[in-house]
Amino acid sequence: MVQTAIPSTTSGAATPGWPHRHLLDVDVLTVDEVVRCLDLAAEMRALRAAGERPDWLAGEVVGLAFAEPSTRTRVSFEIAAAALGAQVVELPIEASSVTKGESLADTLRTMELTGVGTIVLRHASSGAPYLATRSCGSRIMNAGDGTHAHPTQALLDALTLRDALGELSGRTVAIVGDIGHSRVARSNLHLLTALGASVRLCGPPDWTGGFRTWRGVSVHHRLEDALDGVDAVMALRVQLERRAGGGVPSLREYGRRWGLTEDRMALARPGAPLLHPGPTNEGVELTASLAASSRSLIGSQVENGVAVRMAVLSLLAA
Ligand code: ASP
């Protein structure tokens, strides 16, 4: 795997030669670009730990446009942009002119005209960030669109897994839960398989349809089959806001059959880490004691989220 040189942190410049103006999903990134992004994120993490502040985005304005609730993603983008010296402005889309009839495109164009160079967009509609790239000249960073993609989540998950397991090539990762409605699962499928990992998807039949033809992916309905000997497990939240009921009789029934517990995790490779993008529904997709156990990397995922977002903001602005 050829790695592109990472810029000197003392050069005062952002990273030259990044070919993508936007980050809409990870499927357009080459393996080298993914590795470059993860390496830069690790470098950002070390700089932050050392108390250094690379001012690579000084003079830049980053706009946060979150039209869906978010805690981790919004806050970590804000911290990441500020840590790079950018000015951060927040566009409360629900409260903005969109509710007065202005289209999303008009609102984003207005942001561009006021000098926002990068717009971090979260939207309930799959594809909204793609529309945004055609509506305004700002760089667009997809912070989660509907059920489609969540590229920075997949990148921070890959960094967390790489820290725990080393190279991901040849590893097997189980993703358990509401796969069909999960933008996290979809971006992770692209990224993990591109990096050479195999993925076992697991959940109720109605929640796992349509994935059997993906290369490197197998679909399971029994948790025991999915967890057997895997190197890592990722639990997903049941996307209640995106499903009109159906798939399982109740959340209680889901938890009984597919909920992760410390006992069930014992089926995985000894010490196999557990990930979850958050927010967690303890007692449904996993137990509180598993979330708090030594297997859980949920806290590391949140910490890595800042570093990954610093990396991608720098790369896009290069
Ligand atoms: N925070 C992640 C997302 O925005 C996962 C979730 O909400 O379940 O997709």
pTM summary value: 0.93
* pLDDT for position 318: 84
Would you say the CB of residue 277 lies under 6 angstroms from ligand 1? yes
pLDDT mean values, one per 10 residues, the chain (318 residues): 35 65 98 98 97 94 94 97 96 65 83 95 93 94 97 98 98 96 97 98 92 94 97 94 75 94 97 97 95 97 98 94
Helix (H) / strand (E) containing 139 = strand 139-145
Is the domain covering 152-297 a CATH 3.30.70.20 domain?
Answer: no
Longest dimension (CA), the chain: 58
Q: Whose CA is nearest to atom 4 of ligand 1?
A: 144
Q: Do domains 8-150+303-317 and 152-297 have the same CATH topology?
A: yes
Closest-lying ligand 1 atom to the alpha carbon of residue 150: 9
Centre of ligand 1 to C-alpha 279, Å, is 7
Q: Does 8-150+303-317 carry CATH code 3.40.50.720?
A: no
- Domain limits of the chain? 8-150+303-317, 152-297
Tokens of 188: 């992770």
How far, in Å, is the centroid of ligand 1 from the Cα of 307?
18
Which residue type occupies 257? R
Three-state DSSP class for residue 103: coil
Nearest-atom number in ligand 1 for the CA of 239 is 8
Q: What is the pLDDT of residue 167?
A: 96
Report the nearest-CA residue for atom 8 of ligand 1: 237
pLDDT for res 241: 81
Q: How many CB atoms lie within 10 A of CB 176?
A: 27
d(CA 239, CA 224): 23
Ligand 1 within 6 A of CB of 150: yes
Q: What is the pLDDT of residue 81?
A: 98
* Exposed / middle / buried, residue 93 (Cβ in 10 Å: 0-12, 13-18, 19+): buried
Q: What is the pLDDT of residue 99?
A: 59
Tokens at 69, concatenated: 């609730």
